[in-house]
Amino acid sequence: MSEFEPGLVHTPVTPFTRDNRIDYDTFAKLIEFHLRSGADSLALPMHIGESVSLTDEEQRALLAFAIKQVNGRKPIIAHASDAGSAIAADRARHAQGLGAAAIVATTPYYWTPPAHMIVEHFAAIGAAVSVPFFVYNSPEEMPGSKITAELCLKLIDRLPNFAGVVDLSLDWQFMIELLTYAKRRREGFALIAGTEHMVSAAATGATGLFSPLAGVAPKLIRKLYDSCRKDQLVEARGAQEAVAALRQHLKSSGHFKVALRTMGRDCGVPRPPLQAPDAETARALAATLEPMLRDEPRGF
Amino acid sequence: MQNKFRGVMQSPITPLKDDYSLDLPTFEKVLDFHVRTGAPAISWPHHKGESLSLTIPERKRFAEATVKVVAGRVPVTIHVSALAVEDTMELAQHAQRIGANGILAITPYFWTPTREAIHDYFIRLCTSIDLPVLSYNSPSYLAGVEITGDLMSRLIERLPNFVGVKEASFNSEKFLEISRVALSLRPNFALLTGVEFLLPSVPLGGVGSYSAAGSVCPNLCAALFEACMAGEWPRARELQYKMTRLWHLFKDQYPSSLKGGMVIMGRPVGPTRPPLPTATKERQVFIEKELADMGVLDSEPHGW
């Protein structure tokens, strides 16, 4: 397995038309925007891209479209999570066939299997491909199935292509314990911050960042990421606080698309069951965000 | 003015005789050991000191011994958290009477109090004494009961002696929010964490921590703090990883294994009170092997 460094990974939303179909014209423009705005890699369709609301066929078509559009300019990490191990493994295999540079997947949706079954689930997905495989640890989104450092060590023994963890837990104990032990077994094992709380993660040794917010504030995110990678951790605190403030307003997917529209990059509204905020909430949100995003690029 | 609560502060374990009664002469040695090996402050009795397995009279007796033995060489705080809030109030009064330099208090146990109840608790506690108060936030141990940024700001604005927090959520987002709020209102607020988690906290405004493993490895504690404060991050990472291996070793049956480790380091402190177990001979052999593998036996002081 060759070493793959995801770097600053932008995670684009999925634009929808008024009648709820994937809006590929806008998606092409959005991809170009991400590539121009500092993405080292793209990961899609992540949860911010409403992966769970796309059919299997749509997920495959979306990935194929993105790979064609990017045309080798940057690596694409394909998200293959599903409830069933075989469904997820098959999607991962297909993604590698299309040219995905790596695969990322989280614990099974809905089921809350014990640790040894989670290991089997990940082993099935990871073994379906030869490209690097990343585990997505998101305890808030996936309550009931806990990813521990111990579980990851077992997976290292099982999968030669298990390359790292994308961490949304923000949990210092998990991050430090994971790196302390995983790096002793697999030197290139990577911790990747799964939210834009990068400073503490980078301090512990994280080398990458999955960022939904990069679609809204790419300059700020790039600044935060670069400072962290240069080990200017104390200096990064200002950017980190600005990012944290922005995150507070954009936690829900409906709000996120309002932010994109505010920045002149209209990607429609989310698919059901997610709901866009009502007009008044959206106006208030836009007014709040405007001064926070003054230095960020407008339009596609 | 720089806050006096900073660095890797030591919270001594509580030595017990074979019949589980308090061992005062050994406690005096433990205290003296910590001060001589560079502890910037002493705080007793943390959970690691089996606080909740001690009676209130026992806690008072050893609090007095702590102040007396440390004798002003470094600041002493008394951990006053007790199951009954009324006992906490009494321990706080006592700490002030005996000349401690501050107290530490966690959010109330067991009842999962509302935010307003936590607010009222700290108001009552802090206004009952003149000593500086360090709060203790530990949502993962207390069913999500926590001091949020918003609550922190209300307490700081209201209470001049609310001077710091042991922030033990070990969570990037929570720590950053508390740091942002607290330092904007009180720039020398002591933003501390638990278990020597300095690496992720110092870049966000942290100035120190309490220590889990300091009775085994005071040199490592000091080196890690220095590396973090100097911004020597690659070195700090290496030291933090080493510290993590120690935490991994000791957190199992904490503080039983730590007491087991102290035997290996030539500083035996007796058993651990039930319901916690006492480290068996086999466990001690395992701990010794691990400490040897980490190089701790060579790099840290042996004996008192």
Tell me the nearest-neighbour CA distance from A229 into chain B, angstroms. Answer: 11
A199 contacts B204? CB cut-off 8 A = yes
Interface test with B, best of A137, A140, A171, A173 (most B CBs within 10 A): A173
Kindly state whether A240 is in contact with chain B, defined as any CB-CB distance less than 8 angstroms: yes
Residue B143's nearest CA partner among B165, B114, B166, B122 is B114
Side-chain half-sphere of B97: how many Cα atoms within 13 Å? 10
* Amino acid B1: pLDDT: 56
CA dist A172 and A197 (Å) reads 12
Helices (H), chain A: 24-36, 56-70, 85-98, 115-127, 149-158, 172-185, 198-204, 218-229, 237-249, 253-262, 279-292
Average pLDDT for runs of 10 along chain B of length 304: 88 97 98 97 97 96 98 98 95 98 96 94 98 95 90 98 97 97 97 96 97 96 98 97 95 90 97 93 95 96 97
Q: What's the token pair of residue A267?
A: 């990607």
Per-residue CA distances from A169 to A211, B26, B41, B169, B284 (Å)? 14, 41, 32, 12, 33
Above 60 in pLDDT, residue A2? no
- Taking only the tens place, the pLDDT of each residue in A70-113 is 999 999 999 999 999 999 999 999 999 999 999 999 999 998 89
Interface test with B, best of A153, A174, A176 (most B CBs within 10 A): A176
- Which class is B7-215 in CATH? alpha beta
- Taking only the tens place, the pLDDT of each residue in A221-246 is 999 999 999 999 999 999 999 999 99
pTM: 0.92
- DSSP state letter for A144: T
Kindly state whether A234 is in contact with chain B, defined as any CB-CB distance less than 8 angstroms: yes
Interface test with A, best of B138, B172, B176, B193 (most A CBs within 10 A): B172
* Amino acid A252: pLDDT: 73
Residue A192 pairs with which residues in a beta bridge?
A166, A208
- In degrees and rounded to multiples of 5, residue A147 shows phi and psi of -95, 120
More confident residue, A144 or B233: B233
Count of residues for chain B? 304
Q: In chain A, what percentage of residues exceed pLDDT 70?
A: 99
**B interface toward A at CB cutoff 8 Å?**
170-177, 180, 195, 197, 199-205, 231, 233-234, 236-237, 240-241, 244-245, 248
- Residues from chain B contacting residue A231 (CB–CB below 8 Å): 231, 233-234
CA dist B158 and B198 (Å) reads 29
ipTM of predicted complex: 0.88
* Amino acid A112: pLDDT: 86
- Residues from chain A contacting residue B197 (CB–CB below 8 Å): 172-173, 176
Q: Which of B170, B234, B241 sits opposite A179 (nearest CB)?
A: B241
Q: What's the token pair of residue B192?
A: 């501390």
- Taking only the tens place, the pLDDT of each residue in A269-299 is 999 889 899 999 999 999 999 999 999 999 9
* Amino acid A1: pLDDT: 45
- DSSP state letter for B216: T
For tokens 């700020």, the residue is: A220
Kindly state whether A205 is in contact with chain B, defined as any CB-CB distance less than 8 angstroms: yes
Q: Which of B176, B205, B233 sits opposite A203 (nearest CB)?
A: B233
Per-residue CA distances from B219 to B21, B269, B301 (Å)? 30, 20, 8
Q: In chain A, what percentage of residues exceed pLDDT 90?
A: 94
Q: What's the token pair of residue B189?
A: 């607020």
Per-residue CA distances from A21 to A25, A34, A55, A230, B65 (Å)? 11, 21, 11, 42, 73
Average pLDDT in chain A: 96
Angle, helix A115-127 to helix A149-158, in steps of 10 degrees: 40
Tell me the nearest-neighbour CA distance from A42 into chain B, angstroms. Answer: 24
User: β-strands A190-193, A162-167: how paired?
Assistant: parallel
